[in-house]
Amino acid sequence: MSLCVAIQHQLADFTLDVSFEAPRGITALFGASGTGKTSIINAVSGLLRPDQGRIILDGEPIFDTAMKIDIPPHKRRLGYVFQDGRLFPHLSVRRNLLYGARYAHPEAQGPGFDEVVALLGIAPLLDRNPGLLSGGEKQRVAIGRALLSRPRMLLMDEPLAALDSARKEEILPFLEQLREHTDIPTLYVSHSVAEVARLATSVVMLDNGKVTRAGPAEQVLSDPATARQFGLREAGSILPATVQTHHPDGLTELSVSGGRLFLPKIDQPKGSSTRVRILAHDIMISRNYPKDISALNILPGEITSIRQGTGPGMILQIKSGDDFLLARITRRSAEAMSLKPGAHVHAVIKAVAVARVDVATR
Ligand SMILES: Nc1ncnc2c1ncn2[C@@H]1O[C@H](COP(=O)(O)OP(=O)(O)OP(=O)(O)O)[C@@H](O)[C@H]1O
């Protein structure tokens, strides 16, 4: 299953002109406010009729100006999750879920009621009314309702934006489960780099109605050219990792393609696949293998590119094993150390710099 979008649309003085593909998994639409994310979701759902272009879902055109195809919204078989859940307040959780199931296409494949309830951990909530649910619980039910309509694709427009960080933390593992255990592609609008780093398999970056970069999440996040758009303090890369050992002193040892990482205890069993987000400003660079320092993680690598901004800082991209890291250091340090593309360096990462929220399942 995949989605191909190539559309142009004029909204007053705003021009939307985008072309991208959303494969299986979660495709994040990322960009500042007013860059066109919701307009894209509306075009895919059928609420906005683009001036020109086509939208192909799983090989079938659901919109095509050249072929004069415009399938009405209710026949596109898409599931929506909005920021505010939008559950029916007078129906119990069970009946909200069954309402979703009522609209399932009779031949559509997908997880059944019990499976969805288990996946989202909402069994204890089934007989409650939405008014008695927390924001995170409401969103889980909204996701369940969308899933039970057996959609061909899920559209999520900032589903976590209205939640505080504890509620976000509570719901992120369920979204990861959804990504791992269902075949349904998801278009996921987000302002949050942390959310994108944790959930997205692909990223489409938008600026002023145009796609500025699109591709697999690891590639887009570790591209120094995207760092400014993500925000320099949020720039960082994600590394696929495997949990090796839980040590008695509270550290978890993981293997990455360039070596190993020690991080504060991760609640995932030995052998499980994870992804670890490492922020660019949490990496120090050393030419030689550093000795007598407290940082536990030292990954060898080669500088593959350097991007210099107008300020005192610069971003290095370092290839370590098969992965790419981003490191943000000062120009002064880079000059003092004669850092150039091709230079062999060591990336030094403090174990405690990696927050629990930045370790995800893969
Ligand atoms: N009906 C409309 N008429 C005119 N302009 C519109 C209309 N709808 C949206 N726009 C403009 O189109 C641009 C893109 O809006 P859109 O809602 O798609 O952005 P967004 O990236 O989702 O923003 P946000 O993150 O704030 O929700 C904005 O400049 C907005 O003001």
Q: Residues with Cβ < 8 Å from 87, sequence gap 6 or more?
A: 93, 96, 130, 138, 141, 142, 145
pLDDT for residue 161:
84
Choose which residue among 37, 40, 84, 189 to substitute to test ligand 1 binding: the one with the highest number of ligand atoms within 8 A of its C-beta. Answer: 37
Residues 346 and 246 in one domain: yes
Task: Write out residues with Cβ below 6 Å of ligand 1.
Answer: 11-12, 14, 31, 33-39
* Within a domain: 247: yes
Q: Which domain holds residue 194?
A: 3-221
Write down which residue in 192, 221, 250 finishes a domain. Answer: 221
Closest Cα to atom 10, ligand 1: which residue?
11
Choose which residue among 10, 39, 212 to substitute to test ligand 1 binding: the one with the highest number of ligand atoms within 8 A of its C-beta. Answer: 39
pLDDT for residue 170:
79
Choose which residue among 15, 35, 192 to substitute to test ligand 1 binding: the one with the highest number of ligand atoms within 8 A of its C-beta. Answer: 35
pLDDT band at 134 (very low <50, low <70, confident <90, very high): confident
Mean pLDDT for 139-168 is 88
pLDDT band at 211 (very low <50, low <70, confident <90, very high): very high
Residues 354 and 256 in one domain: yes
| Ligand 1 atom with least separation from CA of 39 | 18
Give ipTM to 2 decimals.
0.92
Q: Could you tell me the distance, in angstroms and rounded to a whole number, from the CA of residue 54 to the centre of ligand 1?
A: 20
Closest Cα to atom 16, ligand 1: which residue?
36
User: What distance, in Å, lies between the first and last C-alpha atoms of the chain?
Assistant: 19
Q: Could you tell me the distance, in angstroms and rounded to a whole number, from the CA of residue 36 to the centre of ligand 1?
A: 6
Judge whether 261 and 349 are in contact, CB under 8 Å.
yes
Residues 200 and 261 in one domain: no
Residues 75 and 105 in one domain: yes
pLDDT band at 41 (very low <50, low <70, confident <90, very high): very high
Angle at 18 between CA 12 and CA 23, to 5 degrees: 140
pLDDT band at 232 (very low <50, low <70, confident <90, very high): confident
Q: How many domains does the chain have?
A: 2
Domain CATH code at residue 182: 3.40.50.300
Q: Which residue has the higher pLDDT, 168 or 89?
A: 89
Q: Residues with Cβ < 8 Å from 164, sequence gap 6 or more?
A: 135
* Within a domain: 228: no
**pLDDT digits 0-9 by tens, 319-355:** 999 999 999 999 999 999 999 999 999 999 999 888 7
**pLDDT digits 0-9 by tens, 73-129:** 989 999 989 887 788 999 999 999 998 788 787 777 778 899 889 888 899 999 999
pLDDT for residue 90:
92
Question: What residue has token string 């030292």?
Answer: 298
Q: Could you tell me the distance, in angstroms and rounded to a whole number, from the CA of residue 35 to the centre of ligand 1?
A: 7
Residue 361 confidence (pLDDT) above 80? no
Taking each helix axis as running N to C, give the angle between helix 113-120 and helix 135-148, from 0 to 180 degrees, rounded to the nearest 10: 150
Residue 271 confidence (pLDDT) above 80? yes
Closest Cα to atom 30, ligand 1: which residue?
34
Residues 262 and 183 in one domain: no
pLDDT band at 36 (very low <50, low <70, confident <90, very high): very high
Give CA–CA dist 242/220, Å, rounded. Answer: 22
Q: Could you tell me the distance, in angstroms and rounded to a whole number, from the CA of residue 129 to the centre of ligand 1?
A: 34
Judge whether 40 and 55 are in contact, CB under 8 Å.
no
In this structure, of 54-68, 158-172, 224-238, 242-256, the range with the lowest mean pLDDT score is: 158-172
pLDDT for residue 46:
94
**Does residue 302 sit in helix, strand or coil?**
strand
pLDDT for residue 128:
94
Rounded to a whole number of angstroms, the CA Rg of the chain reads 22
Mean pLDDT for 134-159 is 90
Six-digit token pair at 358?
């930045």
Residue 1 confidence (pLDDT) above 80? no
Give CA–CA dist 204/29, Å, rounded. Answer: 5
Residues 107 and 249 in one domain: no
